[in-house]
Chains A and B, each alone.
Chain A
């Protein structure tokens, strides 16, 4: 829903009746501009309180329920004016409309009775009333429907990313926390569908596997041995799971160590040397990744090549030649028999071909011996008969089983392999040469990378404090350590998988008889479904990340296009399967050294907005409510941000200190402005320390 208006009665610093504390909002960017301490955060509190019955407790730095906040909710001025025994009522009324222009009024009321000068008897809880507009009158909605209507103002899972205060931005998008992006994506996309399917197929496989093993166990004579093997299988399976987790963790730590090194390298002052080494290092890394990938692919497919590349036919030529002799004898006999039956001659059916026979008839001459064959003569008729070969039904009845087409097909198809067979040795050798070459390249590149690493260390040594140099060395050691842990972990995993196969085979040997084929089929199918589910989930997640990165960079680009001092773009870096961390990088992909705070905040805001935007209709259907989002940003960074807000969200409501002395008429179109209000604290008696005199003056700016 879009927010039409909010009004308050005696809510914190908003002393007085609703008519005096009323904000009406439109589509586009709505601004509420005020000085620090001027009531902006309390307005945000009002939105929060009316929907969630909670207020931000500034001492505790957390949201607390009304029953805890109690009389602190009340306006100090109203409390002061209230006589002992009297009541002060606090109210906030929010009016919102749906996409179909249906209006809802949400009112929350709380009251307290003054029992003493400073003592209040507060209601145990606030009261919520929800009305909907029917024709021209408000009609009260029953309690059961309250939750669903409130959820339509802003759904719970969206709230953290669409209603927040400036100081919450860092927590929402913590670049050091690898789960930040995942949390957002899990909340705001349908990735949970794939997580559920992974879990379901895993359970299915576990059950099917258990059933299969149980059925096999029933067929086993040596029960003791079977039990021991089952236990070994279970333990080995757990070890495999643990090993996979450990490898993932080490991969993540490796990426993080690499990142830290990158950051430190970013601080080296000899820019030229640094850039050249960085560039070479990146190039080497790309080459290494490519060579490793190729090597893995070659190994994985070597056995397959025996069949797909027909290496297996390597020494088969002499056997085919033997078949060829046999076939020749066969086809010769076959054709002789065919010809003998039809025309008592030895020519095959299509020799000469009909087109030449017809030519001979046209020219009335035999083209083989040159004799005349005038129309009507025996010679002419003899040639004409050649056209009738193969048309008589009697051809078919010569053989009980005419195998000529099968054997000819076999012969012709296999003949085509000759060249392939000749070149097999060469092809196998090429494959092994490729493997050698890849291995050598990998060694060469790794060696050069180590040299570059040593160069970096020297450069850092030249111009940085001991702390930084030590830090650099530590991260390098960590990087090498985690890399080797990953390698050794993978080797262990291969060994464990082979053990698993071994145990399964031993178990199979003990099974005397056949289990039902459905059990084996179920085992296979669930295993495959589970594998595919895991892979699909990663692919879907990676795609979401790609889209997120692109959208975030579009937004960030728009926010910063007029500001030359901002560089960099957003990169979502993969550190392991399913974990990404956001980084700010330069155009070469290197981590930007020490971006300023405003830069960082803009990046975070761009990411948050991109996440919301990823499901298009959210920015259309719900209002973005921000309290002082630019509080940590220097002024020149804010213009781009507001412009982007105005363009991206159907409605946004922002409280801010910005523009307090500006003429916003110039920015009306650029920002797509809705309503603009300026709020000011009022102390009629002149004492700005007297909270019992405080009220808020609200002025709408006419644009």
Chain B
């Protein structure tokens, strides 16, 4: 694997601490099968699934919420551990498309410049994901009953963009 590839998959994107409760509520931690996940009201098997979902919501809405250096954030797993791999690759592809990530110049760059490019990519991923989380959070705060709606996340995806 070359350095760039390794660096991309080692990206460990973060979410704002404000969304910690939201992530915990909707992701299943602590094991258990599908029955239990559904009956415990968990729509996502784990944090990264929810993160991927939030990324695409932010992407489709064309909204970014930038994370600043001073922000309180939480991380979970490097991208290389996310499953399924094909979906993760697609996420990377969309992030490349929507950022200033320079595919051409990258091949001539030294380590420091590569770091900068990777950071760009990371920022893009984080931007869309946190925007998605923010949107979901606001929607649930505005209409608290939606939390009991088993179809909430499916319906959100089905909105036209």
Contacts and interface: CB of A to CB of B under 8 A. Distances in A.
Direct contact of A and B (CB under 8 A): yes
Interface of A: 299-304, 306-308, 310-316, 319-320, 322-323, 326-327, 329-330, 333-334, 399-403, 406-407, 410-411, 413-414, 417, 428, 493-494, 497-498, 500-501, 505, 508-509, 520, 523-525, 527-528, 531
B146 interface: no
A308 B151 CA distance: 17
B51 to A, nearest CB: 12
Given A312-B52, A312-B53, A319 B39 contact: no
B103 A407 contact: yes
A413 B39 CA distance: 36
Contacts of B93: 319-320, 323, 410-411, 414
B79 interface: no
Contacts of A528: 31-32
Best-buried of A316, A411, A417 by chain B (most CB within 10 Å): A316
Contacts of B112: none
Contact of A302 (B31, B84, B154): B154
Q: Is the interface of B mostly helix, strand, loop or mixed?
A: helix
Interface stretch (B42-50, B65-73, B137-145): B42-50
B87 A312 contact: yes
B109 interface: yes
A313 B56 contact: yes
Contact of B34 (A301, A314, A315, A326): A301
Contacts of A400: 107-110
A527 B104 contact: no
Given A312-B87, A414-B89, A531-B32, 15 more contacts: A303-B44, A306-B53, A313-B56, A319-B94, A334-B104, A399-B108, A400-B108, A401-B2, A401-B4, A402-B107, A403-B107, A493-B39, A501-B42, A527-B32, A528-B32
A312 B161 CA distance: 13
Contacts of B25: 501, 505
B47 to A, nearest CB: 13
A401 B114 contact: yes
A304 B41 contact: no
A312 B56 contact: yes
Closest 8 interchain pairs by CB?
A323-B97, A322-B97, A330-B103, A399-B107, A524-B31, A319-B94, A528-B31, A498-B41
A315 B161 contact: yes
5 contacts: A301-B34, A303-B153, A306-B153, A334-B107, A414-B90
A500 B28 CA distance: 13
Best-buried of A319, A329, A413 by chain B (most CB within 10 Å): A319
B36 to A, nearest CB: 8
A414 to B, nearest CB: 5
Contact of B59 (A306, A316, A527): A316
Interface string B91-133: 0111011100001101111100010000000000000000000
